[in-house]
Amino acid sequence: MSETKAFEPKIIAFVCNWCTYLGADLAGTSRLEYPANVRLVRLPCTGRIDFNLLIKAFEMKADAVLVSGCHPGDCHYTSGNYHARRRWMLFRDLLDLLGFDMRRIYFSWISGAEGHKFRQVITEITEETRKLGPYKLYEGKPVAYPKFSETVMPLGDFSTEAEMRSTARTLLSDGSVQVVIGYGERGPVFVTHAKDAGKLVWNRNCLTNLTAYLKRKEIKALGKAAIVVKGCDERALLVLEQESQIERENLHVIGMACEGLGIPKCAGCMVRQPRFADEVIGTAKPAEAIDHYAALDVLMAMSPEERMGFWAEQFDRCQRCYACRQVCPMCFCEQCLTDKNQPQEIDTSATRKGIFAWQIMRAFHQAGRCVGCGECTRVCPVGIDLWALNLALERSAEKNFGYKAGMEKSAGSLIGAYSTRDKEEFIQ
């Protein structure tokens, strides 16, 4: 009992320089007393508060975390807090799926004139956290592997192989492209001569999302490219174009109609027929729609401790081989944050702490960008259910913002934009 009484929660508050910090200052100069449990970290703007800092705070034994900034409309930089609001909405859903204790993560708007509100919020968080006790991060209840519904794995026919080869041959021989990025017998191939077009194949092993190669300098050096895409891969092209990573007019897209490769992601595929390719080879019957998010409900039906246990068990296997990152078309940064070591923001060690930080970062950097091609999950050598992290963010984007990445050509970026009408029930 005496130990429980002695527990003093440690609360880290990330506050913006212009409003909440001034609010805290006002509380001080007004002699308003508030619990000394809070440590303020002053940053320019809530829009600039890196989500990794929240994780870092918990790693460093925080029992609760607060992010607080200017009221909507009051941002010193006009819209930083609107961007923050949208980002935190998505981030909360990711943390929830991972089994974080959401009762320890707070958001508020406190202006420079609201010294009293600062006191009230801090007092409330301190009291609530004191009741919860110390936070044992990444300790969950071990669980049996959940029963996701039986997956149907549709498999189409691949009779359009010859047509694809002849298309490639024509493109190369008339000089419209210098290289065709396609599938070969063993894996991806880069065909540079018309006579080698026969090396291209179209079969159930054509799994790789080839758009991941468009970022590579060795491939760019080969000249103007044609690329073979399935409908699912094509979604990535839309996002890459939106993010100015490719010049669509300098790329020839050969779309392959596809009725499935016999793997789980093909169930309920809504993009069997490529929609924006320069030419589409074959016709695919539409798939029967399924509820992709049902699998998330299975996870969300568990308690947070069980979800954390589920992920801890999975992440303990992670080797930090970064195959998930390397195979991802959306991971095009020249230098990944985890490879930056001055300072090292994400631990490189394959410890529970390092792996959680890495996987959280990887997943969240895909928020509103992941097109669900599932390559990360396919290549993971240790079989981590990475799809579930991506899916949670996809659901959050769809539910909260009616947004799905790589579906519409005219759509802007989700994270790079905001609306003054975005939801904010989670903010005090």
Could you list the residues that contact another protein (CB under 8 A)? Answer: 60, 145, 184, 186-190, 208, 212-213, 216-219, 314, 317, 319-323, 325-327, 339, 344, 347-351, 354, 375, 378-379, 381-385
Which lies closer to another protein via its Cβ, residue 165 or residue 325?
325
Q: Spell out the residues 6+ positions from residue 304 whose beta carbon is closer than 8 angstroms to its own.
A: 96, 99, 100, 101, 102
Give the nearest distance from C-beta 390 to another protein in angstroms. Answer: 17
Q: Are 100 and 420 contacting, i.e. CB atoms less than 8 angstroms apart?
A: no
Which has the closest alpha carbon to 291: 265, 270, 259, 268? Answer: 268
Give the nearest distance from C-beta 318 to another protein in angstroms. Answer: 9
d(CA 1, CA 93) in angstroms, rounded, equals 35
- Tokens matching residue 103: 């009762």
Q: Spell out the residues 6+ positions from residue 116 whose beta carbon is closer than 8 angstroms to its own.
A: 27, 30, 32
Give the nearest distance from C-beta 195 to another protein in angstroms. Answer: 15
Which lies closer to another protein via its Cβ, residue 350 or residue 407?
350
Gyration radius from the chain CA atoms: 24
Tallying the residues shown for the chain, one arrives at 428
Which lies closer to another protein via its Cβ, residue 347 or residue 398?
347
Which lies closer to another protein via its Cβ, residue 79 or residue 205?
205
Give the nearest distance from C-beta 343 to another protein in angstroms. Answer: 11
Which lies closer to another protein via its Cβ, residue 319 or residue 413?
319
Residue type, 78: T
Q: Collapsing DSSP states into helix, strand and coil, what is residue 361?
A: helix
Torsion of CA 306, 60, 324, 212, to 10 degrees: 130
Which lies closer to another protein via its Cβ, residue 130 or residue 365?
365
Give the nearest distance from C-beta 347 to another protein in angstroms. Answer: 5
Give the nearest distance from C-beta 249 to another protein in angstroms. Answer: 24
Which lies closer to another protein via its Cβ, residue 383 or residue 412?
383
Burial 289-319 (b: 16+ CB within 10 A, else e): eeebeebbeebbebebbbbbbbbbebbeebe
Q: Is 279 left (phi over 0), alpha (psi -120 to 50) or beta?
A: beta
CA dist 235 → 206, 211, 250, 390 (Å)? 16, 10, 17, 15
Give the nearest distance from C-beta 309 to another protein in angstroms. Answer: 15
Which lies closer to another protein via its Cβ, residue 60 or residue 155?
60
Give the nearest distance from C-beta 246 to another protein in angstroms. Answer: 18
d(CA 425, CA 153) in angstroms, rounded, equals 39
Give the nearest distance from C-beta 360 to another protein in angstroms. Answer: 17
Which lies closer to another protein via its Cβ, residue 106 or residue 190?
190
Q: Are 309 and 141 contacting, i.e. CB atoms less than 8 angstroms apart?
A: yes
